[in-house]
Structure formats: structure tokens, C-alpha cells
Chain A
Amino acid sequence: MSKTVYRTCPTTGLRIDLSAQALIKANAVAAVVFLAIGGLFGLSVALTRWPAVHLLPADWFYLALTAHGLDVLLLWIIFFEIAVLYFASAILLNSRIAAPRWAWAAFALMLGGGLVTNVAVLQGQSSVMFTSYPPLMAAQHFYLGLILFAVGALIGCFVFFGTLVIARDEKTYQGSIPLVTFGALTAAIIAVFTLASGAIILIPTWLWSIGLVSNIDPLMYKLVWWAMGHSSQQINVSAHVAIWYAIAAMLFGAKPLSEKISRTAFLLYILFLQLASAHHLLVEPGLSSEWKVFNTSYAMYLAVLGSMIHGLSVPGAMEAAQRARGFNNGVFQWLRKAPWGNPAFSGMFLSLVMFGFLGGISGVVMGTEQINIMMHNTLYVPGHFHGTVVAGTTLAFMAMSYLLIPLVFQREVAFPSLAKWQPYLFGLGVAGLSLFMMGAGTLGVARRHWDITFTSAPFDFNYPPTAYLLMGLNGMAAIAAALGGLMFIVIVVKSVFFGKPVRDRITLAAPSGQPISAAVASYGSAGTLRIPGTLVLVGVFFTAFVLYYFVNWKYLSEVWPMR
């Protein structure tokens, strides 16, 4: 065992294990590389689905769509999440990282697996979509790469758990772990379930592709596969909620309104969030309505309760901190005076709002057992998850990157004026993607479909003209999002590899007002707190939620009667 080497962070005073720092850097850089590749594939998909452009031929379209899902939904997100896990454990707990060699082995497995699967897809014999539903069969190394990646990420999770144990034993923190680390713990727990499910279903599928197993039951596959496919998005939710709290703390010195309520909300995630894997099986044969209703509702919507708690306590914590610093006029001065020019804040706030309004509401509505009949496998589904995974998670991760660059990479953020606009352009594009796809989905337009004009089909059929308009707007929104994504890549690459080193203490919080230390005083007690602005925001959210929910029941009542 080599001796652990530390540096002391000039900004926070935290003791930073250099091997943890190197691991965070490696995972974050790999994440961004896959974001760039996957984003490019995504743009080509959206431009193909724009009927007037129709960029790619059919075989390339299905190949690009498979690669897009794989690279952004799995590789970008999970690499970044491993970086977040190491940050939230070793750095925030002031600890050394557990088993750095294992962590590097995990990184190598993930990278190798990701590359092998990408090669399999690019060779053209594995255009089976991200979901690879049997009996559709990919090349054997497609599955092998995914298995290696899942095993690597699982090892990464256990390095996180090991670090928690070391930090507790070596008493690098006192009392309980920070809330952000608790959110990361939630993500890691869900990740263990996710990655284990993935390995359990992909290993027999891999053996099937080699010829050692004769048959994979398509329903059984789907049941277990979605325990990975959907739960991996629940890792994202937990991770980006943790990041919301982290950014609120780093920029405003915000303290959770209530430790117990925020942690209980994460506990509801740990227990129930993964049940929503059932969202993908609501119009499947062979599963009872009891199973569907219980699982799709995360056990009576207890995990939605968790999200709604975070939806109040994250902006509430910022409002309380801003008010404590003197921005106390009216209902919204605290928000107006927020650092809108700081991409870490704007990215985080856009992520919070869009995750709630676009991804959150649509997800719960679409996940209603009967309403799903009108939405399953239409473009509504990708519309929804671009609201959660891209507007929510990706934007939050981008915002976090603007803080990791100075703190962990010790570089100044390059092109600061470009960085200022990046979250807005990307957010605008993604909001468009999400809304236009959901709109097209309500008109019935199928997802994963190369030609909605059906030119070589045996029958004539046309979707409503509005659908074509929406697909065109979707293409334009994709261009905006891709430009925003490109700006992010350029800024990150320039900062990380060619950026000006940061040696001194830096100021994270931009706006004037009292220094952070004054705001950190304990305003969390029941008597002193005032958060009227946040209450208005959640009131608007709740009204939109209720109205949209019942509107969809109205639509459903107009469909053919069936039982």
C-alpha cells in the first residue's frame, strides 16, 4: 500500500486525496468524451426525424439511435456519476479514497466495456437500440461490453461505500455525513440494484448470442432489463438532486431547511424509486393490474412525494440563504438577485425548474397505468426523458462541472462569456426537444421510426400535419441543444487541458451581499424562516400538475372502450 498524498484546497480548506482527485478527473473526462460522441449521434437522429431534412439512410439512422442511447444515457451519465460519488465521499468527507487501485480497475473496465460496445454498434451488426429486446440479437461483444461496463461501475460503487467506512473509522467527519453525500449514497444504493440487475439479465443474453443458451424469454428479459434501464435513470435523479443541494450550498452557503425532511425524502427514493421500472411494462401482456398499479406508482407515489419535498427544499434553502444575506424585499428579490450570469447557478436552476415541470409531471402522467395506453412507444416517451435526463441530469452535471473545473481540476473556466450563455442555449434547446417530442407523441407519432411518411409501406397513412411541424421544430431545437452542448465541450476541453491554473482561494458566490459565513448561521429552525417566493413557485407547479393530470384522463375517456 502506497502512502496517501494530500493537498489542501485553498478555497474550502478541505484536505484532498490526490488519488481521489485523479480518479474524479479521469471519470469526468471520460464522461465528457462520451457526451460529445453521443450528442453528435443525437443531433443526427433529430435531423433525420425532421421530415424536410431526413439526413441519414435507414440503416445509419437505427445505428445512430442505438449509439446515441448508449453513449449518453449510459456512458456519459454513469462515468460522471462515479466522479460525483468519489467527490461526495473522499472530498466532502475529508478522507482518503478506499482502494484506489480497484477504482482504477473499475475505470479501466468501464472504459474498455464502453469502447467494445461502441465498436460493436459501429460495425453495424448491433443496431438493436439501447434496449436490445430479444429475440432481436446483437453481436456478442455488444453484450460483453455492457457487462464489463456494469461490473466496472459496480466496483466504483463499492469504492464509494468503502470510502464511507474509512471516513467513519478514521473520524474525518463528525456526526452524520453531509446531506450531499447522503444524496450520493442514495444514488450509489440505487446503482447497486441497477447494475446487478443489468449483469443478471445481460449475462444470459450474452450466452444466448454465443449460442450457449437456446432461448431468452422476451417478457422476462424486459422485466429484469428495465430494473437496470429505468433504475439507471433513478441514479441520475438522486445524483442531480444531490448536486442541486451541493450547488446551493457552494454558491449561497445554503443550509437544508430541515436535515430530517430532506434525508427522509432520499430514504423514500432508496425504498421506492426503483419500482418505477414498471413504467415500461404497463401495456405488456402477462402482468396483473395489481402489479402494474403498485409498482408504477412507486408504492402509492411515495417516491414522487420525495421529489416534491426536494422541489420545495432546494429553492427554499436558496431563498432562506439569500434572505439571510439581505435580499429580503418582496416575494422574489432573492431570485432576481441570484447570480444569473454564473453558469453553475443558471444551469442548476434551469435543471431544477425543467426537471419538475417537463420531466417530472410528464413522467407521473405517462406512468399512470391506463393513460400509458395513449403514450407507450410514441415520441411522448423520449420527450419525457429528455426533460428528465437531459434538462434535469445533464444540465445539472454541466452546472457542477463549472465548479469542479476550478476546485478539482484547479483551472480557471475558459471562455467565461461563452460559459455564461451556455446553460441558457442548451436549456432552451432541450426544453424544445422535450416539448415538441411530447406534442408529436400525443398525436401518435412513433418513436424509433425512420420514416413517418411511410413511403414504401403497403398502405397509405399520414399523421396530422401538426406532427410534421412539431418534428421540424424538434430538429431546430436539437440544433440549439447541440450548439449548447458543443459550447460546453469546448469550454471544458480548453479549461481542463489548456486552462490557466488556479492557485489561490477563489470566490464561488458571485453576488454582493453579506459573506457566506453570516448566512450559514442556523436559520433552519422553525421560528425564523420565511420562504414566500418558494411557496409561490411550488404552488404554480402543483396547479400545473393537477390540471395536466386530469386533462389526460379526459383524453383517455375518448378512446375506444376496452377491457
Chain B
Amino acid sequence: MAITSPSTRLWWNEPAHRSELIWIALAFVWGLVMFFMMIYWHATGAQNLANETYRTTPNAYYAKVERNVADWQVRELNGLPVIKPPAGADVYLLGRMWLWYPVLELERGQTYRLHLSSLDLQHGFSLQPININVQVHPGYDHVLTVTPDRSGEYTIVCNEFCGLGHHTMLGKIFVVDR
């Protein structure tokens, strides 16, 4: 029994049943398929999270965000600046308790270098309704190269707990047709 010592002294030499061996072979091959699927998607798939990351400080990052706002603000929404960066630009978005800043207006089909960082705690960038989720750390500038492919209004929900106002932390990204 499984709660007593093996009844055969040399249990390693006991032959295994064929059905068990077939199952092991199948499970092993399936593991390889899943492993190489991730690598295959890196080569051919369109959705891979960038690893481009830099060390930064809250002050240095905030200065870049403010420069964005000064250069590209087009209007205001609920007291927050809305910026419309040119295609291909480095766009700096920050999370802080409890705000995503600024509001972005992007063009459909254009590619942007979207920077994410936090000024205080960790936050969770959760873009709805398409459900893209990325962790945002203070002190690290994470650069995603994104190409919004459908126009519409998108909401950034914070999905990492960041204090008592966490559930009020929303931001907006508008994707407009060219």
C-alpha cells in the first residue's frame, strides 16, 4: 500500500504498465507543445509583452510626463489634460494614488511607445474592455510598443491594491480614426 514501504525491495526494477507509459509519453509531448507554443508566439504572434525597462525616479519620470502634457495637450476632460501624441512618439503615462495621468488620445492603426511607471505605490494597468493587464512599479519605466487596432473609448482600471482609494482609480484612453 501507499502507506507502507514498497513490498518489493527492488521496486525500481518493476515493469510499468503500458497504459501508464503511453500517458506519460502523451503528457510529456503535450508539455513540449505548450513550451514551444510560447516561443512560436514570440516569433510569429502579434501580442507579446515587451521587456524594455529602465530604472528611473518618480521625479525624473514626472518631468517627462509634464513635458508630454506641455507639448501635446489638446483639451481637458474632468479637469485632466488630454494629450494627443504624434504616431511613433514616446508617451509617458503615470499611475499615482489614485489617478492615471494624463488622458491619452491615440490614432487607430498607429504605433506608440507607451511608458508606464508609478510615482508612489505599485499599481495595476488594466485596460478595459480588451483586458490587457500590466503591473506598474515605482522606480521602473516599462516601455510597451502598442498598436491600437480598434477605435473607441478605453478605460484603465487599477487592479493592484494601492490604498483606500484604490477602487476610484480610473483613467481613459481614446482611440480615434485617422
Complexed CA–CA distance, A110 and B25 (Å): 43
A476 at the A/B interface (Cβ < 8 Å)? no
Are A258 and B27 in contact (CB-based, < 8 A)? no
Choose among A176, A219, A300, A558 the residue that contacts B31 (Cβ–Cβ < 8 A).
A300
Task: Give chain B's interface secondary structure class.
Answer: mixed
Complexed CA–CA distance, A529 and B18 (Å): 10
Could you tell me how many residues of chain A have their Cβ less than 8 Å away from some Cβ of chain B? 106
Task: Give chain A's interface secondary structure class.
Answer: loop
Choose among B17, B141, B171 the residue that contacts A257 (Cβ–Cβ < 8 A).
B17
Are B32 and A300 in contact (CB-based, < 8 A)? yes
Residues 118-161 of chain B, each 1 if its beta carbon lies under 8 Å from chain A, else 0: 00111010111111111101111110111111100001011111
Complexed CA–CA distance, A454 and B128 (Å): 14
Choose among B17, B35, B137 the residue that contacts A300 (Cβ–Cβ < 8 A).
B35
Residues 276-312 of chain A, each 1 if its beta carbon lies under 8 Å from chain B, else 0: 0000001111111100010001001110110011001
Could you tell me how many residues of chain B have their Cβ less than 8 Å away from some Cβ of chain A? 89
B167 at the A/B interface (Cβ < 8 Å)? yes
A522 at the A/B interface (Cβ < 8 Å)? yes
**Least Cβ–Cβ distance between A308 and chain B, in angstroms:** 4
Known: A218-B139, A526-B15. A444 touches B131 (CB 8 A): yes
**Least Cβ–Cβ distance between B102 and chain A, in angstroms:** 12
Interface residues of B in 30-86 (CB under 8 A from A): 30-32, 34-35, 37-39, 41-42, 45-51, 53, 78-80
Q: Which residues of chain B have C-beta atoms less than 8 A from A378's C-beta?
A: 126, 131, 133, 159
Are B2 and A246 in contact (CB-based, < 8 A)? yes
Choose among B31, B42, B162 the residue that contacts A301 (Cβ–Cβ < 8 A).
B31
Are B2 and A178 in contact (CB-based, < 8 A)? yes
Q: Which residues of chain A have C-beta atoms less than 8 A from B34's C-beta?
A: 297, 301, 304, 364, 368, 549
List 26 A-B residue pairs with CB atoms under 8 Å apart, sorted by A's residue number.
A133-B121, A179-B2, A179-B3, A217-B139, A250-B3, A258-B20, A261-B16, A283-B134, A284-B135, A285-B51, A293-B38, A304-B34, A312-B23, A373-B132, A373-B134, A449-B159, A457-B169, A458-B80, A459-B172, A525-B15, A538-B23, A549-B34, A556-B45, A557-B45, A560-B127, A560-B150
Known: A62-B164, A546-B30. 11 other contacts (CB 8 A): A133-B122, A249-B3, A259-B6, A364-B34, A454-B167, A535-B19, A538-B23, A553-B41, A560-B132, A560-B148, A563-B48
The 3 closest A-B pairs by CB, nearest first: A301-B31, A285-B142, A446-B159
